[in-house]
A and B are shown apart, each in its own frame.
Chain A
Amino acid sequence: MSTTDPDNVTKPPGEPQSTSERSIRSSLTLAVTIPWIVVLVLWLVWCATFVTDGVYTRVIGSGVRQVSLPAVAALDALQSERRLSQDLASGGTTDQAELSEQQARTDVLLDRMNEAVQAAMSTAPAEIAGPVDELSGELGKLDQIRGRLANRQISAGEVTDYYDNVFDIATDLFDTQSRLVPDSTTAQGGIAGTALFRSTDLMSREAALISSGLTAGQLTPEQHLQLLRLNGSYHSEIEKNVSYLKPSVQARYQKLITENPDWARLVSIENSLMQGGPGADLTEAGVSLEEWQRLTEAVNRELTSITSEQVDLLSAETVENGDQAITIAVAGAIAAGLFSLGFFFWTRRRYRSVIDGSLLPRLQRLSAEARELAEKTLPSMMSRVRAGERVQVESTSLQGYGGDEIGQVADAFRAFQQEALQAAVNEADTQQGALTFYIGQTRRVQSALGPLPQRLDALLQNEEDPDRLGALFALDESVTQARHVVENQLVLCGAAPGRRWSRPRDLTEILRASAAETKHHDRLRLGHVPNVSVTPGVIGDMLRMFAELFANAASFSPPGTDVHVEAVSVGSGLVVQISDRGVGMTPEARSNANETMKNPPGFASLVKLGDRGEQLGLFTVAQLAERNEWVVEFGTSIYQGVRAEIFIPQAHIVTDEDEERRDSWSGDVPVAKAGAPAQPLPTRVPSASASTAVAEPAVRQPKPDAAPSASTEGKDMERPPLPQRVPYADLPAGFGEDEPTDRQSAPEFAPGLMTFFNADRRSRDESGNKPDSDDDMQ
């Protein structure tokens, strides 16, 4: 996770994450957010429940207030109309006009009730809407009933049934309404109110029954039975529910039954009528129809009034309860919401301080440091280890992460780094040990071989017997080739090869010497080679590389064919061409070889290459060329074989103009040493006459032994000798390389004598002295 991701840093917790790859931060945020969403939902549900309850209660209450009071009034009017209608239908004293008046009053109140109902129906629950619809439907039939009554086309029974049905529906509606109220106390009060209404209704029916009895003079047994049922019902209905009435209503009821004379008279008439039994003559009961009607109307009105008061009080209380419930719910919701909000912000701050303040920055730092470790520190340490450097395995990185889980991860990383480094160090040590052993062994071989060439030279010098000379040649060849192999091994192992040079040497000489290091030396054909020398520092590598290329060319061509070597000066250096007349390389092999030259493989690749001679040779060439920045490329030769072209940069070439720099050679030997006894650069002065001067002081006389080659001499002929040098021609291979250089002060030794001198000096070296060049330096 990158520390530079601004989204993740600035995004507050709780915001949805859009990244597909979840970070720890977003996962934790999600985990913390979900409970808060749950809390929010619960809070909303809680609010909704309580507020809904309150609102519901309030709706019911206000519904009761809006609907029930007009309804009670309307129904009371309908009650009166019913009484008159029944009276009229059963042939009582009531006339049509009186009924019509009552009908008009009823209609007004019914209209008022309908308005209220219509207004309230929008919020009314389904349990109420049903009975209200039913009631409206039943009331719709009222006009038809009235019409039939006016025309005397309806029986008293039908009228009674119709009104009874209306009142039953209304009573059921009130009952349902009462039971819907959630608050149980209110519901009880409502039920009690409904009971009062029902009692009033029942009493009306009883009154009508008795009225018709008084009109007829007696009660039929059915009517008497009906009377008993109605009377018992409405009394018990009231008494059952009186305790649930509101206290003021209850007191008013008590007052009615104890103090109201109408009530007492009514009860006594009822009782006497019931005691009279069916069929008794009602005229003897001592009650007139008028009196009965007055009594029932008065009591009925009082009961209706009591009912109205109960409903009024109760609905007011319900509304108040609803308001209170809403208030409590809202206040509770606000309190709970505020508390939750406060807690939420506290949690958020805490979360941020943990996640943003301590957890994530540490994780990010750990991530960055681990990445740094894996991508930079470890590889660089590994390469240092492989380069043979000593590194500190104990690491100081990934420290200071504490002891928690992150700290443990950091410890694990650190342990991993140390293990990896330790393994690399061990491996490097093993390799180094093997290499050291290998180099040591090779050096022992080299020490044994080293003095042999010079001794062979000494033996060869005056050998006259051809057979022994041939044997010495063969021995020398073997020794020289063995030395070549040993030196290659040392160079490729990174150790210093045994031979070094302090002075530039002719390219021709180097080419011939390199051929001599292979067993095909007699196949070398030197073409044109510019008369240039090679700086001492690269002579050894050049010898070894040319030897490998020469051996490669010779081994790829039929025995007996020549290997042509030419060199051409180009602007920025020199190009040496080695051509053979072999069968050539396949294009694939050639491109492989060129690839090897461009990207020299490491030792590890030898496992793949195998130990075939040419592969080892190319490997060696590639290594030598790379470290000296030579360019080797294989192409086809005009002789139809392979032509290897080697580019040597100008920096490795010494020309005439470079002679002035001869004292600054920094080749295989220290500069200080190179300066003193360095052999002067061969100057291209023609040697005209013979001179046998031996151990003569420097003379300005051309030396006859200094004729290097026909080609170079021809060129040099035209050139005058350089001023302060003894004319001294190019020396061919083996010609007095170790002569003292300072011609002005040192005697000029003949090269042949120098060989002996060197042999003598070598013997001194073997008895413990340093090599001659050291002596020269001192």
Chain B
Amino acid sequence: MTGPDPDAWYDDDAGRMVRSYALTGGRTPDAAINLDRATQVVATLADTGRSAAATPEHEAILERCGAPQSMAELSAGLGLPLGVIRVLCSDLLEHGSLARSRMVQPRDRDILEAVLAGLNRL
């Protein structure tokens, strides 16, 4: 090992070490639990904590969800695939240590159009 091997993959060049399917145990998101990209979740106050956290990733989600977080934010923040986040959040929602947040629901078309118009002006 006297020099870098051009054929080698260093650290996570070869993908993340713990594969995504292992994070969820191979499970995929349940369509019945509707968690889309923008769905926000927040840790419930009743979070007794750790017992729900079966894996470090569950733990990490709970840590981040002190304030409401969307699936996309969690995915980007934890560096985990959206699908994995959705499965893990489903687990936590089921357990009750996480709840859907209703605080931010930017569905108002007027506001969105105003934003679009403002952007266009730029």
Q: Which B residues touch A469, using CB under 8 A?
A: 28-29, 81, 83
Q: Within the assembled complex, what's the spacing in Å between the Cα atoms of A732 and B55?
A: 9
A512 and B18 within 8 A (CB): yes
Q: List 26 A-B contacts (CB under 8 A).
A: A443-B7, A466-B28, A466-B31, A469-B28, A469-B29, A476-B20, A500-B10, A516-B21, A522-B25, A669-B10, A670-B3, A690-B63, A690-B67, A704-B66, A704-B77, A707-B60, A709-B56, A709-B59, A733-B18, A733-B56, A735-B60, A738-B11, A738-B13, A750-B79, A751-B77, A762-B13
A-B pairs, top 10 by smallest CB distance, nearest first, are A453-B15, A733-B18, A734-B16, A751-B79, A516-B22, A752-B76, A732-B56, A707-B63, A473-B21, A710-B50
Cβ-based interface call for A496 (8 A)? yes
Distance in Å: Cβ of A463 to nearest Cβ of chain B: 5
Cβ-based interface call for A350 (8 A)? no
Q: How many residues of B contact A (CB 8 A)?
A: 58
B82 and A461 within 8 A (CB): yes
**Known: A692-B77, A738-B11, A773-B11. Is A473-B4 also a contact (CB below 8 A)?**
no
Checking B13, B59, B80, B83 against A463 with a beta-carbon cut-off of 8 angstroms, the contacting residue is B83
Cβ-based interface call for B104 (8 A)? no
Q: Which A residues touch B65, using CB under 8 A?
A: 690
Q: Within the assembled complex, what's the spacing in Å between the Cα atoms of A342 and B74?
A: 115
A477 and B4 within 8 A (CB): no
B4 and A770 within 8 A (CB): yes
Checking B13, B64, B81 against A460 with a beta-carbon cut-off of 8 angstroms, the contacting residue is B81
> C-beta contact mask, A763-778 vs B, less than 8 Å → 1, else 0?
0010000111110010
Cβ-based interface call for B101 (8 A)? no
Nearest residue (CB) in A for B30 is A466
Cβ-based interface call for B91 (8 A)? no
Q: Which A residues touch B2, using CB under 8 A?
A: 670
Nearest residue (CB) in B for A673 is B4
B83 and A516 within 8 A (CB): no
A733 and B17 within 8 A (CB): yes
**Known: A466-B83, A690-B67. Is A508-B14 also a contact (CB below 8 A)?**
no
Q: Which A residues touch B80, using CB under 8 A?
A: 734, 752
Distance in Å: Cβ of A476 to nearest Cβ of chain B: 6
B7 and A498 within 8 A (CB): yes
A515 and B6 within 8 A (CB): no
A705 and B21 within 8 A (CB): no
B22 and A501 within 8 A (CB): no
Nearest residue (CB) in A for B69 is A690
Distance in Å: Cβ of B71 to nearest Cβ of chain A: 9
Q: Within the assembled complex, what's the spacing in Å between the Cα atoms of A265 and B11?
A: 161
Cβ-based interface call for B102 (8 A)? no
Q: Within the assembled complex, what's the spacing in Å between the Cα atoms of A462 and B83?
A: 7
**Known: A476-B21, A705-B64. Is A457-B28 also a contact (CB below 8 A)?**
no
**Known: A516-B22, A689-B66. Is A470-B28 also a contact (CB below 8 A)?**
yes
Beyond A464-B83, A466-B83, A473-B21, 16 additional pairs, beta carbon < 8 A:
A463-B81, A469-B81, A496-B1, A503-B11, A513-B18, A670-B1, A689-B66, A704-B63, A707-B63, A709-B56, A733-B18, A734-B23, A752-B77, A755-B16, A758-B12, A773-B13
A501 and B53 within 8 A (CB): no
> From residue 15 to 51 of chain B, which have CB atoms closer than 8 A to chain A?
15-26, 28-31, 36-37, 49-50
Cβ-based interface call for A194 (8 A)? no
B77 and A454 within 8 A (CB): no
Checking A460, A689, A750 against B76 with a beta-carbon cut-off of 8 angstroms, the contacting residue is A750
Nearest residue (CB) in B for A497 is B8
A710 and B26 within 8 A (CB): no
Distance in Å: Cβ of A475 to nearest Cβ of chain B: 9
Cβ-based interface call for B113 (8 A)? no
Cβ-based interface call for A579 (8 A)? no
| Total number of residue pairs linking A and B with CB closer than 8 Å | 221
Cβ-based interface call for B115 (8 A)? no
**Known: A466-B29, A669-B4. Is A772-B13 also a contact (CB below 8 A)?**
yes
A710 and B53 within 8 A (CB): yes
Select the residue from A460, A508, A522, A754 with max chain B CB neighbours within 10 A: A460
Q: Within the assembled complex, what's the spacing in Å between the Cα atoms of A503 and B21?
A: 24
A498 and B82 within 8 A (CB): no
Q: Which B residues touch A515, using CB under 8 A?
A: 22
Distance in Å: Cβ of A685 to nearest Cβ of chain B: 12
Cβ-based interface call for A204 (8 A)? no
Q: Which B residues touch A456, using CB under 8 A?
A: 15
Nearest residue (CB) in A for B73 is A692
Cβ-based interface call for A649 (8 A)? no
Q: Within the assembled complex, what's the spacing in Å between the Cα atoms of A469 and B81?
A: 10
A453 and B19 within 8 A (CB): yes
Q: How many residues of A contact B (CB 8 A)?
A: 79
Cβ-based interface call for A737 (8 A)? yes
Q: Which A residues touch B55, using CB under 8 A?
A: 732
Nearest residue (CB) in B for A753 is B76
Cβ-based interface call for B78 (8 A)? yes
Q: Which A residues touch B6, using CB under 8 A?
A: 770-771, 774
Distance in Å: Cβ of B56 to nearest Cβ of chain A: 4
Nearest residue (CB) in B for A772 is B13
A737 and B19 within 8 A (CB): no
Distance in Å: Cβ of A7 to nearest Cβ of chain B: 59
**Known: A461-B81, A473-B26, A692-B77. Is A737-B56 also a contact (CB below 8 A)?**
no
A509 and B17 within 8 A (CB): yes
Cβ-based interface call for A467 (8 A)? yes
Distance in Å: Cβ of A666 to nearest Cβ of chain B: 8
Q: Which B residues touch A505, using CB under 8 A?
A: 17
> C-beta contact mask, A638-658 vs B, less than 8 Å → 1, else 0?
000000000000000000000
Q: Within the assembled complex, what's the spacing in Å between the Cα atoms of A483 and B30?
A: 30
Q: Within the assembled complex, what's the spacing in Å between the Cα atoms of A452 and B24?
A: 20
**Known: A461-B81, A710-B53. Is A498-B20 also a contact (CB below 8 A)?**
no
Select the residue from B1, B7, B18 with max chain A CB neighbours within 10 A: B18
B78 and A705 within 8 A (CB): yes
Nearest residue (CB) in B for A749 is B79
Cβ-based interface call for B110 (8 A)? no
> From residue 459 to 512 of chain A, which have CB atoms closer than 8 A to chain B?
460-464, 466-467, 469-470, 473-474, 476-477, 480, 483, 496, 498-503, 505, 508-510, 512
Distance in Å: Cβ of B36 to nearest Cβ of chain A: 7
Distance in Å: Cβ of B38 to nearest Cβ of chain A: 11
Cβ-based interface call for A352 (8 A)? no
Nearest residue (CB) in A for B76 is A752
Nearest residue (CB) in B for A736 is B79
Cβ-based interface call for A687 (8 A)? yes
Select the residue from B28, B37, B53, B84 with max chain A CB neighbours within 10 A: B28
Cβ-based interface call for A61 (8 A)? no
B11 and A501 within 8 A (CB): yes
Cβ-based interface call for A408 (8 A)? no
> C-beta contact mask, A514-527 vs B, less than 8 Å → 1, else 0?
01100001100000
Checking A710, A735, A774 against B4 with a beta-carbon cut-off of 8 angstroms, the contacting residue is A774
